[in-house]
Amino acid sequence: MMTVRSTNVVIGGEAGQGLVTVGRLLSRILVGEGYRIVVTQSYQSRIRGGHNTFEVRVSPDAIEAPAEEIDVLVALDDATVAVHLAELSPGGLVIADEAFCDGGERCLRVPFKDLAPAAFRNVAALGVVCAALGLDGNSAARIVDEAFGAKHPEMAEGNRSALAKAIAWCSGQESYFRRLPAAPEGPRRIMLEGNEALALGAVSAGLRFVSFYPMTPATSIPLTVIGMADRMGIVVEQAEDEIAAINMAIGASFAGAPSLTATSGGGFALMVEGVSLAGMTETPVVVVVGQRPAPATGLPTRTEQADLEFVLHAGHGEFPRAIFAPGSVEDCFHLARKALFLAEAYQGPVFILTDQFLADSFRSVEPFDLSGLDQVKPGADPASIEEPYRRHAMTAGGVSPRLLPGVSAHLVVTDSDEHTEDGHLTEDLGVRKAMVEKRLAKLEGLRREVVPPAYEGSGSPELLLVSWGSTRGSAREAAAAIRANGVDVATLHFNQVWPLVPEQFVERLESAGSVVCVEGNAFGQLARLIRRETGFEIEERVSRYDGLPITPGFILRELSV
C-alpha cells in the first residue's frame, strides 16, 4: 500500500504523434504550478510508429520514484487503450478520441476532430488533460505560447485555439475530472532531466571540451552543452567514433581543457583502451556511461543497471578510478561537478554511471545556486615547479605536478608505455614497479574523498534495502510503504560505487535483520562487489532486467509485502 498521494498521467501513442511534446508541455505546466514530478519516458528505437509512452507522476509533495498504476491515461491511438487499460487504477480515467474509446464509464470520449485539425490534436489533448487535472488554463496557454510562439509563429494561433476549445469542451464533463490537490506555495522551481542537470553541473565546474559519438541515452548530454556552447565558451565535437571521442577528450585535457565524453555500454566498450591510456598517462577525463540493456545493442532505448562491473574493470592493467552513480537529478549536477574536480586532482579517469531512466527523467528541482561555486583549475602553477620538471615525479600521494604544454618553458612529456619520471619510455623494471606503486597510491586520496552511502532508518532495523544510482527514489518509497505497515525498515544508498570504503557501511549491513539488494541487473552486481570488498554476503536480491525502471511497486511485489 502506497503512502504517497500522487496522480500518474500516462500519455501513449506512436512515435511522431507529438506525445513527447504533450508530455513535456504538461510537465512544464505542472512544475510552473508548483507540483513535483517524476517523468518516465519509454520509447521504442524508431523515429515513427511503435508504441511509446511519456509518463508523468505528479504530486504536491516531494516524490522521486515512478509509479505503476495509471490514474489518467491519455491515448493518442487505439493501441494505447488496448495495451494499458488493465493498468488503470480504481477511479482512473481514460482520455481518448471518441472514435476508438470503448465508451466505458472510465473513458472521456473526446471529439478531437471538432476541436482541432489533425496537426493540433496533441495540443487539444493537452488541453483536456489540463482541464481534467484542474490546472489553470491561462498558465497552460502561456506555456504553449512560449513553446511555439518564438520558433513557429505560424503554429501559435492553431495551438492557442486547439487548447482553448479543448478546455472549453471539458467544462461540460465535470464528473470525470481528477483534480489535483493544491500545490504548496514555494520558491520557483525548474524542470530538468538527469542529462541536463549533469551537463549544467559539468559546465559549472569549468568544462571546456566535449567529444562524443551519438548514442542513446547519453546524446542529450552533449546536446545540452551544444545549446550553450557559444555563450559559455565550450568546444563540442562529434567524433568519428567512440575511440576518437575519448582520445580527443584526453588530448584536450592534456593541453588544459577540462574534458568529458558521454556514451552508453557499446560505445564505452570502444573507449576502454582510452580509459587505460588516461590511467597510464595520468590525464584527467570524465566519462559518462548512460546504461541501457545489453549485451551488444540490447534494448537501445530502455533502462538497466548492468554496467557496474564493466565500468569498474574497464581498461587493461591496474590504475585508480572513481565511479559515481547519481540517484537523482540534483545528484547528476553535484556529482558531475565532483567528477571534474576529482579527475583533475587525481589525474585519471572518473566515471558517472547513469541510465536511461534517470537520463530522460524530468523532475522539478530548485534552481542550483551557482554564485559560490568554484571551478577546476587545470594544471599546476609553473612558478611552483622545481627544476628539472618531471611530469611523473614521485610524490608521497602519487600525484605529480601537472603542467600544461606550451604555458611555460618546461616541457611536458608523457607516454602510454611505462615511463620514467620525466615521461620517457623505459623498460627498467625497478622504475616500472615504482611507477605502479605511485599510480596506485592515488587510490588512498580517492578513498578519502568518497561520497559515503546514505543511510536512513533505525540502528538495528528488521529489514535493510540496499540500492545504487537511479534506484534510490524507488527504494526509499518502498521502504516508506513497508514502514507504514509497522515494519522497521532502513535504506542504504550508494551514490558512489567505487572506491568502496567498508568502514562507512559494513556495520549497517551487519546490524540489520535481513538485507536485500535492489538493483537493475541479473547478477546482483553491487551485492557481488560488496561481498568482494567486505566479505558480507547479501543473500536476498530484488533484480529487474526487463528494460523498465525499478518502481516502488516492483520492489514491494518482489518482497511479497
Partner 1 sequence: MASIEDYGTYETAWCPGCGNFALLEGVKKGLVAAGLAPRDVLFVSGIGQAAKAPHYLNANLFNGLHGRSLPVATGAKLASPNLAVFVESGDGCCYGEGGNHFLAAIRRNVDVTMIVHDNQIYGLTKGQASPTSEAGTKTKAQPAGVILERFNPVAVAVAMRAGFVARSFTGNVDHLAEMIRRGIAHRGLSLIDVLQPCVSFNKVNTFAWYKKRCRELGAEYDPADWSAALKTAVEWGDTIPVGVIYENDRPPFESLESVLAKGPLVGREVDRAALAGEMMRIGGAADD
Pick from 21, 40, 259, 495 the residue near partner 1 by CB under 8 A.
259
Q: Contacts with partner 1 in 6-35 (CB under 8 A)?
A: 28, 31-32
Q: What angle do CA 405, 408, 414 make, to 5 degrees?
A: 30
Least distance (Å) between residue 502 CB and partner 1? 35
Q: In this complex, which beta carbon is closest to partner 1, that of residue 299 or of residue 431?
A: 431
Residue 318: is it exposed, middle or buried by C-beta count within 10 angstroms (0-12/13-18/19+)?
Answer: exposed
Pick from 74, 93, 244, 527 the residue near partner 1 by CB under 8 A.
244
Determine the residue type at 132. A
Q: Which residues of 118-138 are buried (b: 16+ CB within 10 A; e: fewer)?
A: eebbbbbbbbbbbbbbebebe
Phi, psi of 310 (to 5 degrees): -60, -50
Least distance (Å) between residue 428 CB and partner 1? 13
Pick from 237, 418, 456, 488 the residue near partner 1 by CB under 8 A.
237
Do the beta carbons of residue 203 and residue 195 sit within 8 Å?
no
Q: Helix 329-346 and helix 194-204: axis angle, to 10°? A: 40
Give the C-alpha separation, 184 to 394, whole Å: 57
Least distance (Å) between residue 557 CB and partner 1? 35
Q: Contacts with partner 1 in 124-163 (CB under 8 A)?
A: 142-143, 146
Least distance (Å) between residue 216 CB and partner 1? 20
Q: In this complex, which beta carbon is closest to partner 1, that of residue 129 or of residue 260?
A: 260
Give the C-alpha separation, 499 to 277, whole Å: 20
Least distance (Å) between residue 259 CB and partner 1? 7
Phi, psi of 410 (to 5 degrees): -70, 135
CA nearest to 338, candidates 378, 374, 308: 374
Q: Contacts with partner 1 in 195-234 (CB under 8 A)?
A: 196, 200, 203-206, 208-209, 211, 224, 227-234
Residue 241 makes contact with partner 1 by CB under 8 A: yes
Do the beta carbons of residue 496 and residue 525 sit within 8 Å?
no
Q: Which listed range, 111-119, 249-257, 438-446, 485-493, lies at the site for partner 1 (CB under 8 A)?
A: 249-257
Give the C-alpha separation, 498 to 313, whole Å: 11
Can you tell me whether residue 481 is helix, strand or coil?
helix
User: In sequence order, what are the residues at sequence separation of 6 or more whose Cβ sits closer than 8 angstroms to the Cβ of residue 536?
Assistant: 506, 509, 510, 530
Q: Contacts with partner 1 in 467-486 (CB under 8 A)?
A: none
Give the C-alpha separation, 465 to 492, whole Å: 6
**Distance of CA 211 to CAs 283, 405, 428, Å?**
15, 21, 36
Least distance (Å) between residue 279 CB and partner 1? 12
Number of residues in contact with partner 1 under rule CB under 8 A = 78
Q: In this complex, which beta carbon is closest to partner 1, that of residue 273 or of residue 533?
A: 273
Q: In this complex, which beta carbon is closest to partner 1, that of residue 163 or of residue 272?
A: 272
Q: In this complex, which beta carbon is closest to partner 1, that of residue 345 or of residue 404?
A: 404
Q: Contacts with partner 1 in 379-408 (CB under 8 A)?
A: 404-408
Least distance (Å) between residue 554 CB and partner 1? 30
Least distance (Å) between residue 290 CB and partner 1? 18
Least distance (Å) between residue 248 CB and partner 1? 4
Determine the residue type at 237. E
Q: In this complex, which beta carbon is closest to partner 1, that of residue 240 or of residue 507?
A: 240
Dihedral, 334, 338, 340, 346 alpha carbons, nearest 10: -170
Residue 121 makes contact with partner 1 by CB under 8 A: no
Residue 440 makes contact with partner 1 by CB under 8 A: no
Can you tell me whether residue 503 is helix, strand or coil?
helix
Helix runs in 68-120, H state only: 78-84, 112-115
Pick from 177, 368, 455, 536 the residue near partner 1 by CB under 8 A.
368
Q: Contacts with partner 1 in 273-332 (CB under 8 A)?
A: 273-274, 277, 281
Residue 270 makes contact with partner 1 by CB under 8 A: no
Task: Take residue 549 and report the three cell numbers written for it.
Answer: 525502471
Task: Take residue 253 and report the three cell numbers written for it.
Answer: 585535457
Do the beta carbons of residue 183 and residue 134 sit within 8 Å?
no
Q: Contacts with partner 1 in 403-432 (CB under 8 A)?
A: 404-417, 423-425
Q: In this complex, which beta carbon is closest to partner 1, that of residue 235 or of residue 294?
A: 235
Mask: binding to partner 1, 90-109, rule CB under 8 A, as x and -? --------------------
Pick from 79, 83, 155, 235 the residue near partner 1 by CB under 8 A.
235
Can you tell me whether residue 266 is helix, strand or coil?
helix
